[in-house]
Structure 1
């Protein structure tokens, strides 16, 4: 039995802990989906990257104004056409106290370009990284590549020592469903560290005590809740159970505004939602057409395009929270060409005629893969597409599922017809030309071109665009490449998605156009 002085001391200690706990500022977030892993190299998907981007950091990042700014590199410059010198930040520690050095950058490069990585396209233009000293590196590119700093803002640096000690030298492979220590535990240099992980339920992050930078935030703890049901998510916001929710169901935007307890933040997102088709296999995996692949015929691809009632999707499904597009990039991305941003006309009869000319007067059956918890009203969009295609005799066997299984499936290219959304995170068209339109190949080229559309001329132009420093010449080449893809109907663009976040009054956040939510910019008031 403790003596009275010891008991008094214990009581005082508990009271102090309770007081400190009461003063801790907690940010409560509700999202329709979860990061499928805490491994920052395992999936190139915005939600996963925004969550892990609060724990891990890149060499170069984007500030609250979305402009490039220093992170783990303090400065950078080209010292030769294919060489970039990066000076690394000193006195930075990983969460376990291990010092950050050039060895971690080189390790993270090898990890990101290696087996199992889903972020190969971020480092695909890098030939090698040379260590000058512990805090200086030279990044050698395969060709002159002036937009390298823009490209690597979502390539996060991991601890070589920690990964080796925890058997996490390679990232988890989302196509195979393999997990490792990095799936559930973290050790970054970022402002927050993972404390608790319950996949698809909730994750808890706490402020790192040894973070090198100054934060524009008073948040000590972040509770990231997964609330898939739209009505439940909205109810949690309006009842005060959560501080931030994303996305806001488009049908509830006006209701939340009228309620007055929260602000709705809206703006154009860099994301374009589009449809892809298997154009490589001689026979589709999931269709009643045997012995050939209808999608290899441009007339069929065009028929699908012209059969889609995009205005119904815009007005009824998206409640005007989407902007129909004719290109795979929105106006905010460098390389956008207004004269090309025109959709083929919605014309059911023209689509029927094209199908008949291609040898499918009665249509055919094909399975369509779609997520139901990744994009705004994603499964509803797919249902609308299916209804449109039914008018030209195409029977869509829709398979809508949670993104945890959806991405595993389509990234393995086990699909015939699918929906995908893409953000040009570099705010440059090369980030669409290379990973989405490029012929699947080395270094991340065509890594997310899941239907394997291929045009060697476009690939050659993409390489020229990557290294061209004359802006006039570069824009002309971009225009040619985009027109080429458009004429081929390599993919079917649908719309630019609109950002809809809801934030409890008294909470301030920074809404970035790539839909990333850096917690280091969030202030929670009482």
Structure 2
């Protein structure tokens, strides 16, 4: 269902920034053979596994916690804390749980922990992106016995096992009442007090902005983990991150800068591994407010409520040029919210053709022959070349009359502002946690609906009842072929309505020191479990 591209090579590499500091210095691994240090482009915002549905957070929790069901590098389902699962009828699922598993503090795992975890999800305070998208369909839960869990859904939910694979299971005995209230607090996970899972590694230390240190769980049910100790070091700047690898300060880095990949691949002391991800970089537009922020010269109107303006923006952008010139070819131009070949992606859709003349014509037809002024919001440290991509988009829009300036900020600032609807247009990304089309559709373009768990990241507040109906029907369709067709139809409706503008899919790269190998992951997770000794 997913397509992974992988490559590995070595050769000579001298980074301008690192050259002076490392002149005459060979790549030397300073860490112990059984210790692993990983340089991260983006660190988790919290160790609370239910706080923020964000790639760095989800990658981090999978070291400490386990899911009821796991996903492999291609997002295929694997047994986790559940060894088997099956539908008993259209709305009832039975999960057989793994026996003999203990949390890191010695408390035993059973069905009550799963029930407690799912009940906690909607009660996480101040969650920027909630995991309720995966739990809203659940009507009731029952522990038939300590190791048999029955879950009933409001309607048929064929994707329930896939959705549950995105949830970290916490200990009811450890967490209940630990924060002095009904539910555990995020800060108690960050301090390590409640960072107690059943996963392959145990919490040792978390210093925000400096390091996350984990130690091996020798009692792990899945077998002895490879590394005695794993240290994650956030190094958001590209140059210092690569320099840290070259100097031996770290053993692995994620997201090496695209412009340096050819040199890295030519270095005999470096291995590079790359794979197509499920992450789409997109533009969202405010299609709700009458007076939208960041827009001038429209007589107080919100231009993005007009489909012709949205289409003009899309036609104004040369996606293939962005892939070639900004991304260095390490990306794939996007025609929808998930790459072709993944479940629910329409193989017939094509990338929007670059048509600046057509864009100008549409703007004139919409009443903006002279264009207007626009502020484009973007993070500058979250996605690969995010600010550079935004600057390129701004140049393309300016050429057709939409005079665009870029407002770039760190991810922590950007997401707060985006969630407060401070941008009329913004650039962001989404990775499909389920590996299929319902994930971006529900999160990014479904009409916001807390009861359904829809639209949690739809900050453009796009709303199309026909799209919602297709999503609803797809999520209740047990037949895989029928469900995929419905998801394709929903995707087509959104794209043809220009409800959101996909730009490209990221190709994710990791670089390791000689002697190590990395298995690329479709979900872009940087995982110590994916690092092995090179053969």
Q: TM-score, normalised by structure 1?
A: 0.90
Q: In structure 1, how many angstroms separate the alpha carbons of the residues matched to 2:180 and 2:418?
A: 27
1:286 to 273, 278, 294: 294
1:195 alignment partner, one of 204, 208, 218:
204
Structure 1 residue 271: Cα displacement: 1.1
Assess if the C-alpha contact under 8 Å between 2:73 and 2:523 holds in 1.
no
Asked if the contact 1:194/1:205 (under 8 Å) is kept, the reply is yes
Q: 1:357 is matched with which residue?
A: 365
Paired position in structure 1 for 2:135: 123
Q: Runs of at least 4 residues of structure 1 off by over 4 A? A: 167-172
Aligned to 1:238: 246
Measured in 2, the distance between the counterparts of 1:102 and 1:300 equals: 52
> What is the DSSP-based 3-state SS (H/G/I as helix, E as strand, rest coil) of the residue aligned with 1:87?
strand
Name which of structure 1's ranges 95-104 and 32-41 shifts more when overlaid on structure 2. Answer: 95-104
Cα shift at 1:93: 1.6
1:468 matched to 2:477? The reply is: yes
1:152 pairs with 2:164: yes
- Residue segments in structure 1 that go unaligned for 5+ positions in a row: 1-21, 173-178
- Residue 401 (structure 1) aligns with: 409
What is the CA-CA distance between 1:359 and the residue it aligns to? 1.7
Q: 1:338 aligns with which of 332, 347, 352?
A: 347
Larger radius of gyration between Structure 1 and Structure 2: 1
Task: Work out which of the residue numbers 514, 517, 521 in structure 2 matches 1:505.
Answer: 514
For the residues of structure 2 that align with 1:255 and 1:24, how far apart are their CA atoms? 26
Contact 2:75/2:434 (8 A) holds in 1: no
Using a 3 Å threshold, how does the CA distance of structure 1 residues 167 and 351 change in structure 2: closer, same or farther? farther
Tell me the CA shift for residue 479 of structure 1.
2.9
Q: What whole-Å deviation, never above 9, does each CA across 1:5-25 have from its counterpart, x for those lacking one?
A: xxxxxxxxxxxxxxxxx9771
Distance 1:257 1:350, change over 3 A: same
The answer on whether the counterparts of 1:248 and 1:502 sit within 8 Å (CA) in structure 2 is yes
Cα contact 2:443–2:456 (8 A) shared by 1:
yes
Equivalent position of 1:181 in the other structure = 188
Alignment map for 1:100-139 (pairs within 5 Å): 100-116=109-125, 117=127, 118-139=130-151
- 1:459 is displaced (CA, Å) by 0.7
Give the Cα separation in 2 of the matches to 1:363 and 1:50: 43
5+ unaligned residues in a row in structure 2: which ranges? 1-30
Match of 1:417 in 2: 425
Does the alignment pair 1:457 with 2:466? yes
1:43-75 Cα shifts (integer Å, max 9, x gaps): 111111001111111100023564211111111
- Which aligned pairs between 1:303-322 and structure 2 lie closer than 5 A? 303-322=312-331
Distance in 1 between residues matched to 2:530 and 2:300, nearest whole Å: 55
Whole-angstrom CA distance in 2 between matches of 1:229 and 1:437: 32
Inter-partner Cα distance in structure 1 for 2:236 and 2:74? 30
SS at match of 2:505: strand
Work out the CA distance in 2 between the residues paired with 1:346 and 1:93: 56
More helix by share: 1
Partner of 1:291, secondary structure, is: coil
Distance 2:67 2:144 in 1: 19
- With 192-201 and 272-281 compared, the bigger mean Cα shift is at 192-201
Which residue pairs with 1:46 in the alignment?
55
Q: What is the CA–CA distance in structure 2 between the aligned matches of 1:188 and 1:475, rounded to whole Å?
A: 35
Following the alignment from structure 1 to structure 2, what is the Cα–Cα distance between the partners of residues 23 and 233? Answer: 20
Aligned to 2:495: 486
- Aligned pair 1:165/2:196, yes or no? no
1: CA distance, partners of 2:389 / 2:498: 20
CA RMSD of aligned residues (A): 2.0
Once the two structures are superposed, residues 318-342 of structure 1 have per-residue CA deviations (whole angstroms, 9 ceiling, x without a partner) of 01111111111102320222111x1
Q: Secondary structure at the match of 2:265?
A: helix
Contact in 2 for aligned 1:168/1:182 (Cα 8 Å): no
Q: Who is 2:11 aligned against?
A: none
Q: Deviations over 1:258-281 (max 9, x none)?
A: 121111101211111111011111
Distance 1:317 1:376 in 2: 10
TM-score (norm 2): 0.88
TM-fit CA distance, 1:96: 1.6
Aligned equivalent of 1:440, options 448, 462, 469: 448
Match of 2:15 in 1: none
Q: In structure 2, what is the Cα distance between the partners aligned to 1:133 and 1:327?
A: 44
- The size of the alignment, in residue pairs, is 497
Q: Which residue of 2 aligns with 1:366?
A: 374
Q: Deviation per CA, 1:95-147, whole angstroms, max 9, x where unpaired?
A: 12222222221111111133534211121222222221222211111211112
- 2:233 aligned partner: 225
State the distance in 2 between where 1:486 and 1:66 align. 25
CA distance in 1, matches of 2:493, 2:454: 18
- Alignment partners' CA distance in 2, 1:159 and 1:91: 14
Structure 1 residues 210 and 411 mapped into 2: Cα distance closer, same or farther (>3 Å)? farther
CA shift for structure 1 position 409: 2.5
Equivalents in 2 of 1:51, 1:261: separation in Å?
27
CA distance in 2, matches of 1:482, 1:168: 42
Partner secondary structure for residue 165 of structure 2:
helix
Larger mean Cα displacement after TM superposition, 191-200 or 159-168 = 159-168
Query: What pairs up with 1:200-279 in 2 under 5 angstroms?
Result: 200-215=209-224, 217-279=225-287
> C-alpha distance in 2, partners of 1:355/1:395?
13
Structure 1 counterpart SS, 2:364: helix
**Could you tell me how far 1:286 is from its partner in structure 2?**
2.8
1:95 aligns with 2:104: yes
1:383-402 → structure 2 map (5 Å cutoff): 383-402=391-410
2:311 match: 302
Distance 2:112 2:33 in 1: 36
Secondary structure of the 2:273 match is strand
Return the alpha-carbon distance in structure 1 between the equivalents of residues 40 and 469 of structure 2: 40
Describe the shift of the 1:242–1:406 C-alpha distance in structure 2 as closer, same or farther (beyond 3 A). Answer: same
CA distance in 2, matches of 1:220, 1:139: 37
